[in-house]
Amino acid sequence: MKSLDEFSASQKLINRELSWLSFNIRVMEQSSNKRYPLLERLRFLSISGSNLDEFYMVRVAGLRNLMMAEANVISDDGLTESEQLIKISALSSELVKKQQVECAELLRELKKNKLSLLEADDLTNGEKKWLEVYFLEELFPILTPLAIDLAHPFPFIANLGFSLIVDLRRNEDNKPLLALIPIPTQTKRFIRLADIKGEIRFISLENVLSLFIGHIFPNYALIGEGIFRIIRDSELEVEEKAEDLVLVFESALKRRRRGNVVRLEVNSSMPKNLRRIIRKELEVSKEEIINIDGILGLSELSDLIVDDRKDLIFEPFSPRFPRRVKEFSGDIFAAITQKDFVVHHPFESFDVVVSFIQQAAQDDDVLAIKQTLYRTGDNSPIVEALIKAAESGKSVTALVELKARFDEARNIKWAQDMERAGVQVVFGFLELKTHAKISVVIRREDEKLKSYVHFGTGNYHPQTAKVYTDISFFTDNKELGHDAVHIFNYLTGNTVPTSLQKAKISPFYIRSSLIGLIDQEIEFARIGKPANIWIKLNALVDPAIIEKLYEASNAGVSIDMVVRGICCLRAGVKGMSENIRVKSIVGRFLEHARIVCFGNGELLPSKNAKVFISSADWMPRNFDRRVEILVPLENPTVHSQVLDQIMVSNIKDTEQSWTLKNDDRYKKVEAEDEIFSAHQYFMTNPSLSGVGSVNVEDEDKE
């Protein structure tokens, strides 16, 4: 049998980018899940398109920049930038083809269910007349046709921008005209026509423009046309030294909008001469051109999800408000004082987190509120509560992370609004992202100060909390309150906390703490005790942690992992990872919570297990370049709820699970007996908070 040292890097690790593409294939494959309503299947297809766009904007753009700079950076699995780009191109091309096949099939099924996306030839004469009026009144005034010649150079096309390119000849003298019509983003991509006999009918904006090209270029004959869409490099470049972070990020956001083109999508019917012109003007290589035999911009298919076809979407789900808080008439401080509790989103309402801050803002005994903000969304009730608290004279500190990708502009606005209200706004560190999710409320009780703390695995974002599965942990534990205050002192004063009592933070302690806990399980295995680890993450990339998990596997530690997205670990390889099992859950809700459980010398699940929640995935960036938190769950009820319910349910799930095989491919789990869905279980069972442990094996007794 091989020792670990005999395995090469490429044998030990799956490439990060290829693993992500594999994840997005799993997302796309949900579009063929016959158990889901048709429009929900369309939503998964749309999500896979949006995911792929962002992947190219960030990951592929980064690799391309490294290659052009001749940086010669070798990936952890031993590939150069160019080798990775070649493999990415092959797998993404496979994904794009599958997306279009699924799209065509879904559109056929939707048509059978009286929801149609039409071509121009499908229109009735009445619909053409109506569309002509719509075009002249609603579209024509906002169109800007652009001639391309010596006097009119090729225009700038924004990121994710659609354009129609046309080759024309003037009727009177056959003089050629080449022109672009950028498709405006201010209008809908799909235009809804009047229903006919209960059938909902749409037509794409590009089809409408093509249909009425004569209104845009009168007295010209159309020789050829095509649609194209571009994706630009959207990574932010931030100066090493900056006196004003807000100004730096505002400037960087402007530069992002003009990033280099990293992907050019063209419809397959576009004439070759037009394709050559676009390629030359945008300065893209052949490898960066994707021919689409179908619909460009699949992310916008979500616009076809209409409210009046409720039979084609999931039945609405209303999250429950935690029973514990109800028992105290909504007084969250009283509920926490009675006992620590967890809230399992989205099955339990995020309103309790909002109420925690709102109650603190209105409570005369609250002296201070400290809050991290990574992503908050529009019209954030959390931010509004912080503003009200500051206006009422409380000491309010908000750590706003400007480097939350694609939320930078929103976070700048919130920071400015809070500063005007008197909130002490801090932007953290230029070289680190603050990703930890912590709220601290300092309250005077019985002439003493008491800390109430919320630790979360997800963002303080009411909208994403409706679809992301996350954990909110509320506690008044003195040691954890002490740790939370010291962490905020680090965030605001840049003083490294050296006296944390229970919590661990990166970039200092999380990786080493996890390695130490894995070492303990290795030692249990060596002395003949049960040794097992359960892990739930969004991504597993860190080579040092993966190496330690391989060591644990070889020592006899049993390891079960639920990794939704990227997983660079190879599972089930003899002599390396034969005791490691990896599955991915992709379903109605997006698995987002990070949980790790160590058997501590007993078989899991066990009341003596060590259980932690975290904001961190196991990636180098989370351990080395972010401020993250790892929190132990020691209260018996909370411990049982997370271990015996959430983790057991995730491991038992068959409905939306894929297993990672030792050939790096994921295979959909086929239930041997009954199908079990973790999401459905939590939607239909009582809330976690205040009901004690629920054994998943005995679900029929509930």
Q: Using H for helix, E for strand and C for coil, what is the string for 153-177?
A: CCCCCCCCCEEEEEEEEECCCCCEE
Tokens of 437: 């999710």
- Please pick, among 344, 435, 482, 486, the residue that the annotation labels catalytic: 435
Please say whether the beta carbons of 258 and 233 come within 8 A. Answer: no
DSSP conformational letter for 320: B
Q: Catalytic annotation on 435? A: yes
User: Which sign, positive or negative, has the C-alpha torsion 85, 86, 87, 92?
Assistant: positive
DSSP conformational letter for 284: -
Picking from 407, 406, 404, 425, the residue whose alpha carbon sits closest to that of residue 416 is 425
Please say whether the beta carbons of 396 and 389 come within 8 A. Answer: yes
Residue keyed to tokens 């020789």: 223
Strand order in the sheet with 200-204: 115-118, 200-204, 190-192
688 contact partners, CB below 8 Å, separation of at least 6: 342, 343, 344, 347, 348, 641, 645, 646, 694
CB atoms inside a 10 Å sphere around CB 115: 23
Strand order in the sheet with 146-147: 146-147, 176-182, 162-170, 220-232, 261-267, 289-292
Exposure string (b/e) for 331-365, b if CB count within 10 Å is 16 or more? ebbebbeebbbbbbbbbbbbbbbbbbbbbbbebee
Cα 105 from Cα 41, distance rounded (Å): 11
CB atoms inside a 10 Å sphere around CB 391: 13
Task: Give the phi and the psi of residue 61 in degrees, each rounded to 5.
Answer: -60, -40
Active site members: 435
